[in-house]
Amino acid sequence: MIEVICDTSFLIHLATKKIKNLDSINVEIGEFQYVIPLVVLNELDRLSKIPDKEQDIRKTLEFVRTLKTVPISGKVADYAITKHVKKRGGMVATIDKDLKNKIKRLGGSVMSFSNDKIVLES
């Protein structure tokens, strides 16, 4: 089973938008599981205290309760995730263009969104 490391922006999008191919994505890439780094959980916690983001973050925190937490920590999520992929490789789910490019340069795989569908980028 492939573990897909989710960043904050991807999780918020996944939890708050209607995703068209959610049911068929396993068929396209094989069996996978979203995992949430500790650093992302901490970031979501901080964001939940911002009034304009509170509702989306509350939905996202509810959504991530069922996800496996992985011990990727640090002060900045993108940096911690990049460092992890540099050491161990892996697949990262993000909509952040800079993070996508860093992960690809390190030889990692990227999962993202396009037209409210989950896509793999190479």
* Cα dist from 87 to 47, 72, 80, whole Å: 28, 12, 11
State the Cα–Cα distance between residues 116 and 96, nearest whole angstrom.
15
- Tell me, yes or no, if the pTM score tops 0.85: yes
Residue 58 phi/psi, 5° resolution? -60, -45
CB 6 within 8 A of CB 35: yes
How many angstroms separate the CA atoms of 106 and 104, rounded? 5
pLDDT in tens, 70-120: 999 999 999 999 999 999 999 999 999 999 999 999 999 999 998 888 888
CA angle 46, 50, 13 (to 5 degrees): 75
* CATH architecture type of domain 2-121: 3-Layer(aba) Sandwich (3.40)
How does pLDDT run across 7-35, given as a tens digit for each residue?
999 999 999 988 877 666 766 667 889 99
